[in-house]
Amino acid sequence: MVCRPDRQAIELRPLFSLPAWPSATSGPCAIPGLIFAAPEFHALFSVEPTQWDTWRLMFKGTPGVKAGEFSRRVAALGGRENAFTSKDNTGYYQQIPANRLEDVMKLEADRFANNQWSDEEFAKEIEVVKEERRLRTEDSPRALMGEALAATVFVASPYRRPVVGWMSDLDAMTAADVREFYRRWYVPGNAAVVVAAARSMAASEGFIVGTGRTGLR
């Protein structure tokens, strides 16, 4: 099932669902995902926070879930989780037993409504992002050429920006910049929920929509 935002009501509404299929795993599983559009490619910032900077900080906890506890709880439910980012979107997903879908959706709603991180955590993570940029781009002639090509071809387009960000922006970025990015863009009107599950979506649709309405505010 896919839910897209209702921008007038600021909540998630069902878009479509596909028939369930026989599970090829040892038991029924579900893969819920929460995907956000990448607004940094549609707006200009004096300093350009990116989805890459933000997603690393989305694992730092909430008032009710300590840093690292999200991943431990997903593992305790028999699941695993990860995230991905690109020039167009960033996604967060879990693979869990189908009967644990509601538990994970509650965790996800809490994370995106109440996520928090300290300035010290930001300082650590931004250095990790810089090192990733050095490793993946600045130490790779091919990657540097691709980045230069995109900056030249898309000279008047936000798509000229690398996904990980320019090093000058990473050097200048503050925790407050990323918090503002999170508050502005990590909202239901910029999100879509995707669920692939070996179970009836009719049984989960109301819960998923309700979680999106009350949790992702």
Closest CA to 189 of 11, 1, 45: 11
- Residue 182 CB coordination number (10 Å): 19
The pLDDT tens digits of the residues spanning 15-25 come to 444 444 444 44
Residue 69 has pLDDT above 70, yes or no: yes
The pLDDT tens digits of the residues spanning 188-213 come to 888 888 888 766 666 666 666 655 55
Residue 22 has what pLDDT? Answer: 46
In the structure encoding, which two tokens stand for residue 186, read together?
């990590």
Burial classification of residue 167, based on how many CB atoms lie within 10 Å of its CB (0-12 exposed, 13-18 middle, 19 or more buried): middle
